[in-house]
Structure 1
Amino acid sequence: MQATRDFSHYVKDLGSGLSHIDLAVEGVSCAGCMSKIERGLSAMPDVTLARVNLTNRRVALEWKEGALDPANFIDRLAELGYKAYPFETASAEAAEDEQSRFLLRCLGVAAFATMNVMMLSVPVWSGNVSDMIPEQRDFFHWLSALIALPAAAYAGRPFFSSALRALRTRNVNMDVPISIGVLLALGMSVVETVYHAEHTYFDAAIMLLTFLLVGRYLDQSMRRRTRAVAGNLAALKAETATKFVGADEILEVPVAAVHPGDIVLLRPGERCAVDGTVVAGRSEVDQSLITGETRYVTADSGTAIYAGSLNMTGTLRVRVSAASEATLLAEITRLLDNALQARSRYVRLADRASRLYAPVVHATALLTVLGWVLAGATWHDAIVTGIAVLIITCPCALGLAIPTVQTVASGAMFKAGVLLNSGDAIERLADVDRIIFDKTGTLTLPDLDVVNGADIPADVFALAGQLALASRHPVAAAVARASAAKLPLAGAIEEPGQGVRGDIGGVELRLGRPSFCGAEQLANDDPDLDPEASHVAFSVGEAKYLFSIRQGLRPDAQAVISALQSRNIMVEILSGDREPAVRAAARALGVQEWRAGVTPADKIARIDELKSQGFKVLMVGDGLNDAPSLAAAHVSMSPISATHLSQATADLVFLGKPLAPVVVAIDFARKALRLMRQNLWLAVGYNLLAVPIAISGVVTPLIAAAAMSGSSVLVMLNALRARRVAQGGF
């Protein structure tokens, strides 16, 4: 009786008629594996997405809901030569740790064997010059074989098993030429030893494995460090929440059982499991992930709080606005996943080259053997030369050239507050020579603030704050926040579109439009009113006051604009806001080109105009009304504060209140692009130089092993330079 496999528990409903599952896949080690799996799965009917994340060996699959059984994907991967199973964080991390330990054991065995075989080779080399007798030389050769053969059998398993899986499915990957080269070198060495030859190549084979294992272990360690960022985010997610199920009754429930509108209790020391708004209580909260601010934020009634935030002191009641996979933390995690599996045009170029490379390597080695035989060489010498060609032309350096840079750069950009949402965003961002900023919510902070609070008497400000707590209007919320009011005024009544009114000691209080508060004359006649600000009136009996409220510029906006201009990037502002507000912002930031009152269509027209002039335009906007212009630009960015982030069309998203990530992202992108090009040229240049030399017969398998491994390590070390950029200029 055949057991049925039910993977429905792991399937997520994405809406729009699509389903999603993540599969952990064993044996994915190179760009060739990625493209092979993606092609194989994408060819299945009704599959809309198949993307491999080499960093965590995971495959993300999307398909039309109800059209396929998830077990079909596992069967298809088995046909391609890969073992797969539904992804679970704990099991995946355990498997990854075991793989890392296995590679380290293989490396230890190979390195130990290499040192000993090389020590045995020294007397042979010197003995061939000083007339060592054949029996002594044979003894050293057999001793080398006794060390190298079992060591290679164990240390070569990562490559041999991968090559065998590929060949079983009638495919080739980069491990195929490696395995063939190692096995041919070992086999030829055994034959040479049996027939008492002067030279063997045990040292070349085991040294090749050692260098390859060093490269593979370094590659995995680098990817694990980058992936640890995502693991740290996952650790911020609380699995349960304390939900109010009655007026005074609470119950600890899974996050999946919490829905928008519910009230949850957040105690000191707990991480918030939901996005929401504080409705009662006061505390200090660490939400540096979202705001970028390392100091604790005071949270009280009306304060927005996000999943992953750590409550430090008091107890809070939070009204839920989003839970589970709808939270901002979950969205950041998804964006980070996109960054780690982003596929650029350079990655696709390396993928295609790697697919073609293995058969080319085999053909080149075979033609070298036949060519030398036709030229009069012995089969022995021709095969040795063919082995050297096979080893020296292995495409490991080419396969590592681009993915390593992109992995390092995307991880470094996240640490700097930037998430990638598009595969080729790094390359497009590196070309930028013009930036268009939206003003509201981009150059300015998303929250309103009272800018003339110092001019209002403290007791009046406190009364206005209490009255403002009775309203949900954003302007009233700004007054309440600035006044630090804790309790709303009892009996206050909100009149939609006008304001809120209340009574204290028989004196009427009003907060809202100047006409609602009887303060029209004050609003019209005051010459000191801020022309950029919105104005809300407050009346206490016959006394009238005006609050000036506006969005403040991001704290480092001026420095960032200067830094961009110093990089020869022209800056302009396009905003739908009023002309006085845009003019004042442009003047404060030193931006010469600006336009106010523009529509989304106007922004697109301006972007098209600049593109026709040859500019590469970066559009930075909030991702909502700016969505059309974000899509029209050469590349785009949005702040994390943009609501409905999942609907934003931006290629990159930056975290926190500072604007500095815009500059840092450009610097990282430019450096990463340089390193990608350097690595491609290193890989191609190495082969252009090494292949003719190997074909000429002047390179032994030992030198070929050292050269090939050295090229792989070189491109990886070069890729590690993408972790840092110069931070000067702002």
Structure 2
Amino acid sequence: MEPPSPVSSAADPRAFVQEGPGGKLTIDLLVRGARCAGCLRKIENGVTDLPGVSAARLNLSTGRLCVSWTQDRIDPRTIVQRVIDLGYSAQPFDQGEGHSQMDHEGRQLLICMAVAAFAVMNIMMFSVPIWSAHANGEMELGTRTMFHWISAGIALPAAAYAGLPFFKSAWAALSKGRANMDVPISLGVLLASCLSVYETARGGEHAYFDAVAMLLFFLLIGRYLDHALRQKARQAARDLLALQAVTAARLNQDGSTTSVAVGEVCPGDRLIILPGDRIPVDGVIHDGLSEGDLSLLTGETAPVVLGVGHFIRAGALNLSGRLILEATARSDDSFLAEIARLVDMGEQSKSIYVRWADQAARYYVPVVHSAAFLTCVVWLLLGAEPRVAILNACAVLIITCPCALGLAVPAVQVVASGRLFKQGILLKSGDALERLAQVDCVVFDKTGVLTTGQPHLLNYDQLPAGALEQAALLARGSRHPLARSIARAAGPGGVASDIVEVPGCGVEATLEGQAARLGRADWIGLEAATSQETELYFKFGDKPAIRFAFDDTLRADCKATVDQLKAMGIRQIVLSGDRAGAVRSAAQAAGLEEYYSELSPFEKASHLDRLKAEGMKVLMVGDGLNDTPALAKAFVSMAPGSAADASQSAADLVFQGDRLGCVQEALVMAQRSKARVMENFWFAAFYNLIAAPIAMLGLITPFIAAIAMSSSSIFVTLNALRLASMPRKRN
């Protein structure tokens, strides 16, 4: 075994190691400080290089590093130390600690941004008079020097605090013998501050305190936007597991029950599941009869009969009867936990998506450092004073600051997200617009996406007089989705007084002295129904049974949206867990030729993998828990506002209201946003290509460099604002 290294962690990681089959050991670590794909590759490669480590996978959204190794080959403290040696902090993963750390980081960035904004506004009160006096020469030396010292009193403390996110990151990298983008930023801020103090002390004409504060303010905007958008990604798995019951009623051998945390449930335990309860873990029904709502798990709209011997997944809802469930898996191995892991993997694939800004910025550090150093050396060789050489080098660092590059994408995201919000579309993922612009295939779920998601009474006009009102007297006493549909169709009214709900069959009562039943065909004495439509039957006394047929209504603009997407040349597919007949009917009504039915959540995710292998860029639109793995795996994903919380969290965009046309509108906005982003990138490249040589030639001061840098950021922002003035496009 490799000797362990000293680890600066409060908790001994050996206590958090989990043993799997075949002697395989795993540990989950919370890694802080990893921000980009480069950090991800550095950590994963550094850990897997350790002898005995078989796999290491880091999720940037959650900061969770999962490491696997062969038993007795390595001490887990060595793994933690390796992460620390790479310039990051690491400790055993704790979900609550991870959430707290992310919240703290966001608050800290907001405070730093507010401090920088305060400094900019106040320093400008003294900088603007100096700029005006510089043009007409009306300010005395003493007044100008006093204004510079006042600016220093504001800027230096503000920069010391607001620059902490960059200073800490730069120091962590330098202390490990590495460099990152925060190193030249920190260097530029420190040089500009020191030179400004020096110039003020010697009565110089120029100081650059306003440039220091403005530089930090613009950079902190981009940093906070990136943090806020990354934080959204970690919510999906949390919402998934929130659907799992927190406690379970465990049945003891003497017949009594004990309330236990769901994490304490073991295979073989028997649990009491009452009507209205969610199934806490995967298991087999040992006793009882009921109906279950599996719509969130499978997409099947019709309730399913649950009886002895049936296997039921965690997260399903027990509707009517009391059940005794024999657990077959722990909560960590349940169906919900497996879906959460798929979501985590989907977020991982999105988090390592290399953004265009990161691709351009990876060359920034070496190029800018080299340019600034070369500027200083050349001016010294030409006989310039050290102050002049350092001023010119500082001007290079400031004028080439990647503010415009850093704002190229966030500025467009902010404007586009505001425009989409006005159209009822919430943008949740940082690079969703970039990916959405590349979409060439849209995959729809049926229930709740193409349709409204609520059973609708089809044969309302064909029912005998009074039949609906009589059936509603029974329907109002049931929680069954189809019974609720009858109650909605009938409107407010009374409820039969002696209703009895028979699990898996229906409800019965006495009306006007005669027996009445509302439920399945075979329960009221008819042959089992073979229709593809969802249906209930009402039997009152000796009268013939009355059939109630239901369907899920298409969204009003479903057909129009499908036609618009066809006009854009986008392939469209329906993937549903519902029955074949219902899926076929909805797809054909919407004008869709390609559809698949009765799919499990994992089959949906596998179908998306096949589309990806074909080279398709897929937009997945889904609303149920069964869609969550596919939403996470898709190239980009979208969910309606009525969707399950976990589905909304896994999606990159959420649209409100009943309009499916939001899908087409989001695609159009994404294409326009891509054009604005590319324009910003070209401008940032052209700006640096022109500005850097000018600064190296000593033709501008750091003050002018700061104005040019700020102007480039303003140009990028104004270009992004063009999105807000564009007319809405309808294909």
The TM-score with structure 1 as length reference comes to 0.66
The worse-fitting range, judged by mean Cα deviation, of 385-394 and 221-230 is 221-230
Q: Quote how far apart the aligned CAs of 1:212 are.
A: 2.9
* 1:53 and 1:341 in contact (8 A); partners too: yes
Could you tell me which of 245, 248, 270 is aligned with 2:252? 245
Distance 1:232 1:654 in 2: 15
Q: Quote how far apart the aligned CAs of 1:20 are.
A: 5.7
Do structure 1's residue 390 and structure 2's residue 388 form an aligned pair?
no
Do structure 1's residue 71 and structure 2's residue 77 form an aligned pair?
yes
Distance 1:662 1:335 in 2: 27
Match in the other structure for 1:201: 208
**After superposition, where does 1:598-613 map in structure 2 within 5 Å?**
none
Do structure 1's residue 264 and structure 2's residue 272 form an aligned pair?
yes
Could you tell me which of 686, 690, 693 is aligned with 1:692? 690
Match in the other structure for 1:92: 98
Distance 2:292 2:270 in 1: 22
Distance 2:672 2:149 in 1: 49
Change (3 A) 1:266 1:363: farther
Match in the other structure for 2:220: 213
Name the amino acid aligned to 1:53.
Answer: L
Q: Quote how far apart the aligned CAs of 1:363 are.
A: 1.6
Q: Quote how far apart the aligned CAs of 1:163 are.
A: 0.7
Distance 1:641 1:100 in 2: 30
Change (3 A) 1:711 1:30: farther
Change (3 A) 1:330 1:17: same
Name the amino acid aligned to 1:384.
Answer: L
Secondary structure, counterpart of 1:166 in structure 2: helix
Change (3 A) 1:174 1:315: farther
Deviations 1:118-144 (A, max 9, x none): 444456552795465555555554554
Could you tell me which of 162, 165, 176 is aligned with 1:169? 176
* 1:107 and 1:155 in contact (8 A); partners too: yes
Could you tell me which of 670, 673, 689 is aligned with 1:675? 673
Q: Quote how far apart the aligned CAs of 1:534 are.
A: 10
* 1:535 and 1:547 in contact (8 A); partners too: yes
Q: Quote how far apart the aligned CAs of 1:75 are.
A: 1.3
Match in the other structure for 2:64: 59
Match in the other structure for 1:704: 705
* 1:226 and 1:408 in contact (8 A); partners too: no
Secondary structure, counterpart of 2:68 in structure 1: strand
Could you tell me which of 585, 599, 610 is aligned with 1:632? 610
Match in the other structure for 1:506: none
Distance 2:218 2:434 in 1: 31
The worse-fitting range, judged by mean Cα deviation, of 202-211 and 181-190 is 202-211
Name the amino acid aligned to 2:272.
Answer: V
Percent identical among aligned pairs is 36
Match in the other structure for 1:613: none
Name the amino acid aligned to 2:68.
Answer: W
Distance 2:437 2:255 in 1: 56
Distance 1:727 1:116 in 2: 40
Change (3 A) 1:357 1:130: closer
Secondary structure, counterpart of 1:347 in structure 2: coil
Paired residues in the alignment total: 654
**After superposition, where does 1:658-669 map in structure 2 within 5 Å?**
664=662, 667-668=665-666
The TM-score with structure 2 as length reference comes to 0.65
Task: List alignment gaps of at least 5 residues for structure 2.
Answer: 475-479, 488-495, 506-519, 644-655
Could you tell me which of 189, 192, 195 is aligned with 2:196? 189
Match in the other structure for 2:33: 27
Distance 1:582 1:225 in 2: 32
Match in the other structure for 1:7: 13
Change (3 A) 1:127 1:671: closer
Name the amino acid aligned to 2:686.
Answer: L
Secondary structure, counterpart of 2:401 in structure 1: coil
Could you tell me which of 352, 357, 361 is aligned with 1:354? 361
* 1:266 and 1:272 in contact (8 A); partners too: no
Q: Quote how far apart the aligned CAs of 1:317 are.
A: 5.2
Q: Quote how far apart the aligned CAs of 1:403 are.
A: 8.0
Distance 2:722 2:339 in 1: 25
* 1:138 and 1:193 in contact (8 A); partners too: yes
Distance 1:599 1:531 in 2: 17
* 1:267 and 1:316 in contact (8 A); partners too: yes
Q: Quote how far apart the aligned CAs of 1:195 are.
A: 3.8
* 2:346 and 2:629 in contact (8 A); partners too: no
Change (3 A) 1:230 1:398: farther
Distance 2:302 2:604 in 1: 31
**After superposition, where does 1:436-455 map in structure 2 within 5 Å?**
none
**After superposition, where does 1:32-431 map in structure 2 within 5 Å?**
33-34=39-40, 36-41=42-47, 43-44=49-50, 46-53=53-60, 58-64=63-69, 66=71, 69-121=75-127, 124-125=130-131, 126=133, 129-130=136-137, 134=141, 137-142=144-149, 144-221=151-228, 223-224=230-231, 238-246=245-253, 248-258=255-265, 262-265=270-273, 273-274=280-281, 302=306, 307=315, 319=325, 324-326=331-333, 330=337, 334=341, 337=344, 341-343=348-350, 347=354, 349-370=356-377, 379-398=386-405, 430-431=437-438
Match in the other structure for 1:566: 564
Deviations 1:2-54 (A, max 9, x none): 79964356556787987665433333456654554455445556353433425
Name the amino acid aligned to 1:564.
Answer: V
Distance 2:720 2:80 in 1: 33
Distance 1:419 1:124 in 2: 44
Deviations 1:625-682 (A, max 9, x none): 6776543321374856686976999625857789989865565455446535633541
Deviations 1:396-455 (A, max 9, x none): 554565589899999999x979999xx999766644456677989997999999988987
Q: Quote how far apart the aligned CAs of 1:96 are.
A: 3.5
Q: Quote how far apart the aligned CAs of 1:175 are.
A: 0.8
Secondary structure, counterpart of 1:343 in structure 2: helix
Distance 2:101 2:593 in 1: 55
Q: Quote how far apart the aligned CAs of 1:563 are.
A: 0.5
Secondary structure, counterpart of 2:362 in structure 1: helix
Q: Quote how far apart the aligned CAs of 1:180 are.
A: 0.8
Task: List alignment gaps of at least 5 residues for structure 1.
Answer: 466-476, 493-510, 524-529, 601-620
* 1:350 and 1:398 in contact (8 A); partners too: yes
Q: Quote how far apart the aligned CAs of 1:251 are.
A: 0.8
Distance 2:412 2:255 in 1: 55
